[in-house]
Every structure is written in structure tokens, then in C-alpha cells.
Chains A and B, each alone.
Chain A
Amino acid sequence: MNEKDQIKDFLRSKLDDCEVPVPDNLWQRIDDTLSRSARMRVIRRRWILSGAAAVLAIIIGSTYLLKLPSNDPSTLMTDKKAITENMPIASTNAEQNTQNKSISFGKTDAQPLIVSSEVEKKSEKKPNKKSFLRSQHFDNEENIKLETYSINSIEKETEEKLLPTDSEDKTDNDEMFYEIEQIATQNYLAPADNKDEKPLTLALNTRGSLTSTNRTTTSPVTLRSAEIANNFSKPNFMLTSQELSEDASDNVSQMIHSQPVSVGLTISKPLTDKLSLESGLVYTYLHSKAKNTSNIYRKKETQQLHYLGIPLNLNYNLVSFGNADLYLSLGGMIEKDVYGKYNYVDNRIQDELNSESEVKVSERIRQPHPQLSINAGVGVSYPVWNNLYLYGKIGGGYYFDADNKWSTIYSDEKIILDLNIGLRFGF
């Protein structure tokens, strides 16, 4: 083996320090790339900071939403029970009304995302005066008596109403207890913090873009961005300079970006009566094709990208028409691809040899940078059943240049119109 590997020693001794001249302009190329990389690093850092800021905002927003006092009716019932246990008790026979009140109580607290003033007014009217004190623990009392009411803060306000005895008629008792309930609720069950209590709304959203791209030109096109193609690689699927110069007139190029399709799950919390904050997770599917054909070649590229995005939107209720609410939505979204696939087929026709060769490439791809966008839209929501709302929104988004490696409808169109349809459930 040693004898046989004499060639190894020979070549190493000869070529280990071998030097080969390099072209003069190569350093310039490296210098340009380094400068561009430095700029990219700054841009990337900004993206990361923006992304981090957006994530932080979402986390803070979510924490804020989650920390708000719960609207769980059972909690309120417990509170009310605690108070009412200390309250004077009047006799009543109106058990049937108990159930009515329980239902209306739940409805009152569970408001939808976009709450119109009219709806709110209706909701306020809905509570049944008779119902609250007729909940189960009162229903079982057979001999309800009026006793001294010991809660200091409402004592004076309720004193006069508590004076009547069980000899008074049922209607008067109902009125009286409703008012006691109102006072108790105002003083004890609705502390200052609770004035802002709003229900959370969960939404299932589907979005179909109204924008697509279908451009046919005589200039060669590729799904790779021009910068990457020119500076980082000379892949075989790019058109060679010879092809460009010889066959530009024969070349027919087509770039197609299909409409993006999205599905998302969002949660929103009203900040005021008319304003609500919405965030969640949105999945988007992007599909693109590029074709270059001429007398001597047919090149076809297809790409699929799957994005996950975090939206942050503010919805403002503009006006209500009956049960329907018209609202305005403004916000932004940060998206990042989670999976991407690229396919390339190159058919080369060689007339003189009467033959055709085919090269197929399939590879996983990734966009290096996250995609930021802002959006605006106008929508209508309509209650279809209890707290379930059907909504539709038409709008558009502006997609910032993410300087990504692969062309998409985001990079080529910038402004994309879309239609959102979904269901919201207030709880």
C-alpha cells in the first residue's frame, strides 16, 4: 500500500502549497457581497426587533386580555348568592320566572365582539326583573321572611323597600327585589373594574384573496429573486446568457401567482364599547408558477409555501343596522413560512440530434425573512344564533418588501385585496 501510495506523497509534496492566479475583479465581487451582507444584517436585525416587538405586543395584549376579570356567570351567581344570603328575604310564589331570569342573565353578559349600542341597549332591557332572586336556593325556601339587612353600604338605600312585609302582593315584591338586585349589583357585584368587563370572542376565519398574478412577457422570468440569482448562484435552471441573447424573441415567459388562501383562529377582546383588539394564528397557502418556453427549451418552476402568521387587528364598530353591525378593521400581521417546496423541470430540445433531455429538480425551500403586512377592511357581522355571529369583511393588505429569496404574490403584488368570511362566538 505504501508503495502504491507513492503518488499520494508525490502529489502532496508538489501541490500542497500550489498557487493559482485569481482574477483581479474577484475581490470586488467579495467586497460587494460583504457590503450587501452588512446591509442585510442591519435589515435582518430590524426585522428581528420588529418581530420581537410585535410578539411582545401580542403577549402583553394577550396577558391583558386574560387578566381581565372573568365574566363567568357562575362566578357572578356565587357573588350574588353571598350577598343575597345576607339580604332580607321576601316570600314569593313566582317560581316559573326563575328560569326566565337565569337565561336572560346569561345573555346579558355574553356580548359579541362587535357590540352595537343598540344591541347593548337591548341587552340592558332584557334582564327580567323577577328572576334574580328566584334562583334555586330561593325557590326552596318555604317561609321567606323579611329580616334586617346587614350590608352597610346598601342598607339605607334598601331600607325603605324592605319595610313592606310579606303581606304585600307579589308584584310589589318583584319590583322591590329587582331594585334590591340592581342596588346590590351596582354596589357589590359591579366594582369599578368590572365596568370594563367585556366578553372574549373566538373567531374562525377564512380568507380568500381577490388578487392573483398572471403575466406573460418575452423577458425570462424565474421564481428566484433577481438579486439571489445574479449574485449567489448560477443554477442550471436559470437561463444562460446565450439563451437570453439568442432566444429572447422566441421566449414566452409566464409568471402566475395564485390567490393566497388563509384559515385562522383568532380571539378578540373589546377594549371599549366600540373598539376591540384581535389576535391569533393564521395559516396561509401560497402557490406560484413560472414558465419559460422557446424553440430549444421548456422550463417550468412551481413553488408552494405554507405560512403561519400572527395578526394584530383593531376592530371599530361604525354603525348598526338592526342586528347587523358594520365595522372597520385596521391592523398588521407578521408571517413566516413553515414549509416550502420547489419543483423545476427543464426540457431541452436538440433538433440536430432529434432528441430531448429532461432535468427535474425538487427541493425544500425557505424564505429567510419574515413577512410583515398591514391591512384594512370593512366588515359586517350578523347574529345567526345566540352568541354566534357570521361575518364578512372585504379589504386589502400592503405587504412590505421582505427581501426574500423566492418570489411570491407578496413580493410581486404588494397590495392584495381579500375577502374574509368567518364565524365569531362570544363567550
Chain B
Amino acid sequence: MSGEAMIDQWYPVGLISQLLAKGRQTLLMGETIYVSCNAVGKAIVTTSDGRDLPVTERYGHVWSSLGLPAAPLFDIPEAEQPGRRLVDVGVVRVRCSPLRAVENFLDIAHFPFVHTDILGAEPHTEVENYKVEIREDADEVWATQVKFYQPQAARSASGGITTEYMYRVPAPTCSILYKTCPPRPSEWDVITLFVQPLTEELCDVWPWMALFDDETPMTDLIHFQQMIFLQDRSILENQIPRRLPLDPGMEIPTRADLTSVAYRRWLKRHAFTYGAQLVAQ
């Protein structure tokens, strides 16, 4: 298996709200695992040969690892703020590399074409300059000062606004998006993409949100995010090569792809290569 460095990372393996005592079988990096809970509802994750795996319950999800995580799961301090609605969006399976799912989440340029009249619209297709860095202290990829015109930026938005975004990649298959919060302009909405790598070319995607929105019914919030993600799914399943190319010879990025370039560079630096293509074929 490629990508040994990724063994020691945390991955989402289920919703806390849907834990069952009888357990659920799933895959983590090609290995069969069982996610269940004990008599007091605490999550248990085991391998098929009965080995107990590390478990963390946070951000609505059960997290586990086939290896030994050196650090606790990353923090999302904003998600702890009181008054936020926490939204379990549910799982969607995608026949694509887990890294490709994250990379697509980081891309803004596709909004007018894939999420037409929602997250973007022609002719407002230009991606203005934004700032990208690999923050050495936190060892995370950050994109800031991202601005984009959106006809319906969120379920709570009525009419077009220029939305501001920040993207953050704290783990190889997780990304957090901070986004203008229409009902509360001084705060950021938190929208995450947690990806469970089933194999190098198959993943379960668990979007999750922490929003300031007291008006919209929970089901509408879930449907909005599922609609967005399902518009991406058919695109993701048709990307070629199936694995994320880390060889700079494969593709010619443009300025709008700076976040993707930094993400790939960061993956390569850490040998986070489960789901990646290292040499152009």
C-alpha cells in the first residue's frame, strides 16, 4: 500500500448520532473495520481480527486510525462557539480518490459551471487574486481573502452577494471552509468536508456544518449542502487520472488553482500519497 505516512492520521468513520450496538462494517484504507458502540453509547472501532483502534468523537463524527496518531484531532475553535447549529449532512459515497474529493472542495473556479445560479453564475466567472500559504507553525494549508460573486451563497442568503471565503486543510483528507455568514456578518460560517478513504479510488464523504442560522429548518440546511455536493459527485467520478497527480508535469495550473498547488505540495512534503499518482503515466 502506498501512503504509509497517512496511516497515523485521524479519519471520519461514521456519525455519532447513528451509532448502533450491533455495529456497522466499513473500510478504512482498504482494511475492513467495524464501528459500533458500547452500553453507554461510546464509540468502538475494531479491525476484523479484533484489534481495537483509537477513537475520538468530535464534530458530529466518530474518528479513527489504523495507526498511532501523534496528535489529537485538529481543533475547529469556531465550531465550539455557542449559538451555532451543528448539521450532520450524512454520508455520500464517491468513486474517486479521497484526495481528489478534498481538492475539488478547495476549488472556486468551477462554481459558475457546476453550481450554476447557486454558488456562481456566468458571466461572473473571474477568480480574483487571493492569498495561499502553508502555515509552518500549524502545518496546515490556508487560503485567505478569497472573494466570489454568488447568486445564493447559503440557504439563508436571499439574492446575490460577494462572498468571502477562507479555506483550511488541517489533515490530508479534511478541509474546513470559512464563509461569509449572511445573518451575522461579523462571524464565519463553518462548512467542512471530512473524507473517509475506503481505498485509493473510493471514498465516503461526510460533510458537516456549524452555522449561525436560527431560521432555516434543519432539513433544508441538510438538503442545501447535499445538493451542492451531489452536483460535484458526477464530476469527481469522471476525473482522469483517477488518482490525484502530484507530478508537476501532469497539469498546467492557473492562478485560480493556487490552493490546489499548495495542497499538492503539502501532501508531497509529508508523503501523504494514499490516493495520489506520483509519476505521470
A binds B: no
